[in-house]
Structure 1
């Protein structure tokens, strides 16, 4: 799914691609995948998912870019989804691509506030609800794309594309 996600980002042609991994940025397969996609490679650093995403978002926003943070566990995320998210960020503070399990598969930001990432019950069905509440509390505008399936457990494998099975 890593290769598929990187190829999707490349085909979207909306900006630079950065592959943020943990724990090993030097793994040959990771380095090769990044190179094939023309992506830079960086370390996510320590912490829970929220701390790692916050660190990445803050750094990219500080460079005057609007990050689209995506996982590599959503095979149905398309180049068109990424393009729509990038367009939505021209008019909104944030963009989300919800997942059917209550999380999200994409988070795009035009501004940063650490509260968006703090005390979120990561990897639970409450992630998207909590994120919406935080966005409301911050007074931010946001757009949500269509809800997609991600692959977190063996039971989710039924959502893989037919030609992958």
Structure 2
């Protein structure tokens, strides 16, 4: 049974790969163009992973909007639908995406494009957790955030008041889960790409080609 038949949608959050506006902590290492090129590669790798996992209902939530040429390319090449992210902080934008997607699907997984270690296996495990009746599922990151969140219902309290970008995001989210009385599962902790040391790890992992060389 495909993900489409089972009522699961996947949301990918991505920014337009504009030099100077994405992967800014990597600009001293890669330059603005190189950092933007790396970001684009990470988005495409994420969409490749979803295609390998046979997810057919994939929504690419775009920032600042869907007008950047990169996004129509993704829609044409990967068959994803494009949606603009709503205004507000990351929590407000994720909540808006969940509210929209859960109006039409029983389960929704939301991921970013910064975690190349996320595989089809992780996605299937996350979907299975929701199919088992758990309220939420997460893939934590080593930096204290999370690379994936899956929900069966949208709940503002999961996202309100979180200090996004800090190392206590997952810890604060656990507190929210406990306050709500929700049952959730955390899959294995992965790493994402944000700092120069993360880029070095990416190169060593072989998950992507060395973007510095191609920039």
| TM-score (norm: length of structure 1) | 0.95
Q: Which residue of 40, 44, 47 maps to 2:85?
A: 44
Correspondence 1:68 to 2:113: no
Residue of structure 1 in register with 2:145 after alignment: 103
1:149 and 1:159 in contact (8 A); partners too = no
Q: Which residue of 22, 42, 54 maps to 2:63?
A: 22
Kindly tell me: are residues 15 and 143 of structure 1, through their superposed partners in 2, closer, same or farther at Cα, counting changes over 3 Å?
farther
1:103 and 1:126 in contact (8 A); partners too = yes
Deviation at 1:15, TM superposition (A): 4.2
CA distance in 2, matches of 1:132, 1:15: 30
Report the secondary structure of 2:160's partner residue: coil
RMSD: 1.2
2:53 and 2:120 in contact (8 A); partners too = yes
CA distance in 2, matches of 1:24, 1:47: 13
Q: Which residue of 167, 171, 176 maps to 1:129?
A: 171
Structure showing greater radius of gyration is 2
Residue of structure 2 in register with 1:164 after alignment: 209
CA distance in 1, matches of 2:106, 2:62: 20
Kindly tell me: are residues 135 and 38 of structure 1, through their superposed partners in 2, closer, same or farther at Cα, counting changes over 3 Å?
same
> Runs of 4 or more off by more than 3 Å in structure 1?
none
Q: Which runs of 5+ in 1 are unaligned?
A: none
Report the secondary structure of 2:107's partner residue: coil
Deviation at 1:69, TM superposition (A): 0.5
Deviation at 1:132, TM superposition (A): 0.6
CA distance in 1, matches of 2:209, 2:168: 29
1:6 and 1:34 in contact (8 A); partners too = no
Residue of structure 2 in register with 1:11 after alignment: 52
Question: What does the per-residue CA deviation read over 1:28-69, in whole Å, with 9 as the maximum and x for residues that have no partner?
Answer: 112102221110000012111100000001111122331110
Q: Which residue of 185, 188, 198 maps to 1:146?
A: 188
Report the secondary structure of 1:46's partner residue: coil
